[in-house]
Amino acid sequence: MTINSFSKPHSAQNVTDYPNNNTYFLVWNFREEAGLVTIKSVFQRICALVINLNNSALNRFPDAKASCVMGIGYDAWLQLDLPQPLPKELKRFEPVTGSKHTAVSTKGDLHFHIRADHKSLAYDMAAAISELMSPVADGVVEVQGFRYWDSRSVLGFVDGTENPHGADRDRFAIIGGEDPSYQGGSYLFVQQYIHNLRAWKSLPVEEQEKVIGRSKEQDIEMSDELKPKNAHIALANIGDDFKVVRDNMPFGNVATNEMGTYFICYASTFSTVEKMLNNMFIGNPEGNYDRILDFSTAKTGSLFFAPSLELLDEFGG
């Protein structure tokens, strides 16, 4: 497939929507034995389905703030013979290995990010995708996220305070003229973190605040004089010109105490995400890694590209 027919400006999927009360995160990997012809046919249908799900939800439940965003991984892009050249920064995510912690890399062909304030609607959208994908692919990640109080993670701190708002959400999340063939697209990066809550809860609140760099109750950032150099926000926030749009959600199983955060961000440049990960896992300077990693372990790490609505429509035939 050539890129020539995709040169006009495109509009984005719902990548800048705000987090909702109920969320499904789904990752699927194609099975080779399904056959490339069948896989391509299902891919065409899934692109059309995603557009249909969004249109139907908007028409039937206009106040539900429901949406489904689909991302495509590097290997799947090549396998499906999608446009060449590829989006400039779409590639296989390589592990980021520090002296103590690693941002692992895991395979992902398609990623679906479903949001709705009605749990039933989110479930129905996930079920429709699963019904279509199951004959040709394996579902390797299914995380059901939930809103915890005033957008807090299960660690008890507000998550996403540094997120851009207004026009800046489009600026930092959506590709513009820097990659004209893929205007309206967005780099989608995800990690599934599991928290060691027993170790975390053993820390006094004052120590927890030093790990994060903010007050726990009021969500007020520490001054530069008081904020430790290895605090989470000291390393994960890399400057006003290098931001992403995060949609993180808590998830987990209380009975097994396996609670975590599904980190998801949309970015106009993946290099911004790489800077953040290098700071966190390798350290800035090297060795000064993000102390939150002593309590949070990344179990997955995958990069996808969320094409524009028009490109998604082209893929759907």
For the chain of 317 residues, list the mean pLDDT of each consecutive stretch of 10: 49 95 97 97 98 97 95 98 97 98 98 96 98 98 97 97 95 94 97 98 98 98 96 95 96 94 98 98 98 98 98 95
d(CA 268, CA 171): 7
Active site residue 219: no
d(CA 129, CA 25): 12
Domain that holds residue 168: 19-315
pLDDT score for 10: 76
Report which DSSP code applies to 44. Answer: H
Question: Is residue 9 assigned to a domain?
Answer: no
CB 24 within 8 A of CB 262: no
Question: Is residue 7 assigned to a domain?
Answer: no
pLDDT score for 241: 92
Q: Report the number of distinct structural domains present in the chain.
A: 1
Q: Who contacts 245 (Cβ-Cβ below 8 Å, separation ≥6)?
A: 15, 16, 163, 164, 169, 172, 173, 265, 266, 267
Single out the residue of 231, 210, 209, 226 nearest to residue 218, CA to CA: 209
Report which DSSP code applies to 6. Answer: G
pLDDT score for 1: 54
**Torsion, CA 112, CA 113, CA 118, CA 123, rounded to 10:** 20
Q: Is the peptide bond before 285 cis (omega within 30 degrees of 0)?
A: yes
Single out the residue of 298, 274, 69 nearest to residue 191, CA to CA: 298
Please return the burial class of 202, using the count of CB atoms within 10 Å of its CB with bins 0-12, 13-18 and 19+.
exposed
Question: Is residue 107 assigned to a domain?
Answer: yes
Question: Is residue 79 assigned to a domain?
Answer: yes
d(CA 28, CA 108): 6
**Within 13 Å and on the Cβ side, how many CA atoms surround 270?**
20
Give one DSSP letter per residue of 75-131, joined into a string.
HHHHHTT--BSPPTT--PPPPEE-SS-EE-----SEEEEEEESSHHHHHHHHHHHHH
d(CA 316, CA 50): 9
Per annotation, catalytic residue among 109, 159, 247, 290: 159
Question: Is residue 93 assigned to a domain?
Answer: yes
Which SS3 state, helix, strand or coil, does residue 21 take? coil
CB 262 within 8 A of CB 222: no
pLDDT score for 4: 43
Question: Is residue 6 assigned to a domain?
Answer: no
Question: Is residue 197 assigned to a domain?
Answer: yes
d(CA 13, CA 3): 19
Single out the residue of 158, 190, 137 nearest to residue 15, CA to CA: 190
Question: Is residue 23 assigned to a domain?
Answer: yes
Q: Could you tell me the two tokens for 45?
A: 């249908």
CB 68 within 8 A of CB 17: no
